[in-house]
Structure formats: C-alpha cells, structure tokens
Structure 1
Amino acid sequence: MKKLLLLPLFAMLVAFCGSASAQSVDANSPEQLIKTVTTQVLDQLKSDKQIQSGNINEITKLVNEKILPYTDFTRTTRLVMGRNWNTATPEQQKQIVEQFKMLLIRTYAGALAQVRNQTIQYKPFRASPEDNDVVVRSVVMNNGSPVELDYRLYKTPQGWRVYDINVLGAWLIQAYQQQFNEQIQQHGVSGLLQFLTQRNQQLASGKAS
C-alpha cells in the first residue's frame, strides 16, 4: 500500500512544484496549466539541492507556495471522506485537510530526491468547451519506463484546479478512502484526526515504521 501511495504523491509534487508564480500560469486552460507548471518543475527540482536532500521545511514551503495555488486539496479531502465530511465540524474539516496534506508531504518527501531525468509526453486532450470536469492524460518516462499519469481538474471562478491524480490506474482519492472510512467507523471523525496527527508526529520524530 505504501509503495502504491508513493506514486500519486510523487506525481503531484513533480507536477505542481513549479518555480513560476500563480500569475504567470494560464489557469484558464487545463492542458496548458499542466504543461507549463510541469515543465517549470522539472527544471527547478533538478537544480534544487535542498529539496533533493529531503529538507522538510523547504518542501513544505514549496508545497504551500507553488502547489496549492493550482489545486483544491479541500475538495480532495472531502471526496476522500465522502459522506463523513458533513459529520465533521468546520474546525475538524480544516484540521483534517491540514494534517492530511502534511501526512503526504512527510511520508513521501524523499520521492523528490528521485527527480533527475524524467520526461513528460502528453496524450491528445479531449474535452468540450462546456465541460467543467476534465482529465489531462500524460506518460512520464522514468529511466526508459513509461508511467501513466493523469490529472483530474474542475473549473472554478479562479480557473482550473487539480483535485485528483491517477498513476497506473490508481487514483489518489480512491487509494485513501478505505483507510479514512475505517478510522471513522471505528473511532469517529475525532479518531481520524487523532490518527493523522499522531502519524505526523511519528514521522516528524523519525519513529514511524
């Protein structure tokens, strides 16, 4: 399971750690948004020694400044929780979003150190002008091995936002749904929040297995 979840997060980080500001990326075109930021990120990660070394503070800063402007992680978390989202208080929802984001960052920060010579090939983009939910499909060539990588975006008043990633047929949201639902069924929403918080504390202290 851990190896499976590594791929979606790695894909998300590679795609959305671009060096440009939000103003310089065309968020009105889902295909152009993905292409522009992905090109920028590969250049940055290949030269950023602190990120390559797994510096958690730099990676967290990078995610908050460069990834989040082009994603809707609240929507991602809400879909992972399903109907349980509405049973959480607004404060619990806010904390779960933050803890889930930090869990992904801390668990897979080392994946960024693997970025070296990856290249991206994009499949033909198929969508109608009136579509509000689309998928941009691509293939990452990783040391000669093709990895299917798709991005699901939806249209907002501020432009297109990514909320799900598919790697080799495994969607990020689907991958976490069972784990979240099991925690809530056994311990409630507060139990899920406690689980995420404790897991982050373990990862921060280096005690997690």
Structure 2
Amino acid sequence: MMFFCFQISTVLAMDLEPDRLVDKTVREVIEIIQKDEELKNGNKEKMLDLIETKILPHFNFTRMTQLAMGKHWSSAVPEQQNKLVDEFRTLLVRTYSNALTTYHDETIKVNQAHTKPDGNEATVRTVVIQGKGKQPVPIDYSMEKKPDGWKVYDVTVSGVSLVTNYRGTFNSQVRKGGIEGLLKTLTDKNKSLEGKK
C-alpha cells in the first residue's frame, strides 16, 4: 500500500502541493493498474518496472537510509553509504511491490496536508478503505520539499513507521557485524527476494 502514489511527471510534481501530488498520483497509478490486465493479474516484472519508473523518483532514499541507520550512518564511509542506499532501496522495492499486486478496487482517501511552519516538510494522511468487513488502513507520508518537488522520506502504516521499524533491525545488525555485516545481510536478502520473482 505504501506505493499507491507518485506516478507523475517531475515537471508537474514541482508545481503541486504535497496533498495534491499524492491525490493526483494515487488516481493515476490506480488507473494504470485497472487498465492493465497483466498488472491486475500480479505480473511481478511489470509491477517492478512500474515502481522503478513511475514511483521511486518521488522518494528520497538517501534520507530514508540515513534515518534508518541513525547514529551508525556517520560511521560508514561514503562508499558504504552509497551501497547502503542502493541495497535499502532495492529491499523496499522488492518487499513492497506486493502492495500494488494486491490492489482490489480499494478506495484511497487523501486528506489535507499538515505542513510545518517553515513550509519545507509536511505529512499527508491517507486512508485505504478496504472491502466489506475490513478495517480501514491509515497510511501517512512524511515529505520534504526539494528543488524538484516534494519527496517522501518515511511511510507510516497503521501507526508503524517504516524508518523506525528498520532502525531497530539495522542497529542490531551493525552491533553484531558492523557496517559490512549489515551490507552483507541486505545484499543476501535482496538476492533471496530476487530469486522469488
């Protein structure tokens, strides 16, 4: 569900407020899925391509990785930092691509953004309204204003922050095996997920 957004041209995205960006792109991504039988039938390769080309440009994976690493980020050398961003990005894409493949005509309500006084950060609260008998799922997008538009740096699903959730895992892995140990864990996990395509 975290990826029910952000399929929009960069030029247009620069001109939109965060809630308008989310609302417009949610509609566009859903329309793409509804019109494509392969996507509706769970074609993983096509879904990954959709995520890579239409969604990821609107996420700040560097900041997400920094926040997930916490105090350990500064102890990684630049080469390690770049690898961490790449591996974390890959992990999130492969782990959460299923969010789009499980779409079944849910309704997504986008509420007005709560923007901080400086105007550079905002939270966009959305609710995924599921089928009969299922509880709505709140999904909040923490966003920051960049020169090329608003970017997501955290996603909170039902009160659980993605960044905070990974921070605990990363902290434990770094304590056990250092930065290189964490990198190996991420690389191995991504290879495992790739093998399940």
TM-score (normalised: structure 2): 0.88
Gaps of at least 5 residues in structure 1 are 1-9
Counterparts of 1:117-196 in structure 2 under 5 Å?
A: 117-127=105-115, 130-144=118-132, 145-196=135-186
Q: What is the aligned-residue identity percentage? A: 36
1:109 alignment counterpart: 97
Counterparts of 1:27-66 in structure 2 under 5 Å?
A: 27-66=15-54
Among 79, 87, 106, which residue is 2:75 paired with? 87
Counterparts of 1:4-15 in structure 2 under 5 Å?
A: 10-11=1-2, 13-15=3-5
More helix by share: 1
Gaps of at least 5 residues in structure 2 are none
Residue 44 of structure 1 and its aligned partner are, at CA, apart by 1.1
Superposed CA RMSD in Å reads 2.1
TM-score (normalised: structure 1): 0.83
Distance 2:115 2:192 in 1: 43
Q: 1:87 to 1:52 in 2, by over 3 A?
A: farther
Residue 85 of structure 1 and its aligned partner are, at CA, apart by 1.0
2:194 alignment counterpart: 204
Distance 2:51 2:142 in 1: 18
Deviations, residues 30-89 of structure 1 (Å, cap 9, x unaligned): 111111111111111223333344444333322222112211111101100012111112
* Aligned residue-pair number: 195
- Runs ≥4 in structure 1, deviation > 4 angstroms? none
Q: Which moved more, 1:73-82 or 1:57-66?
A: 57-66
Residue 190 of structure 1 and its aligned partner are, at CA, apart by 0.6
Q: 1:85 to 1:39 in 2, by over 3 A?
A: same
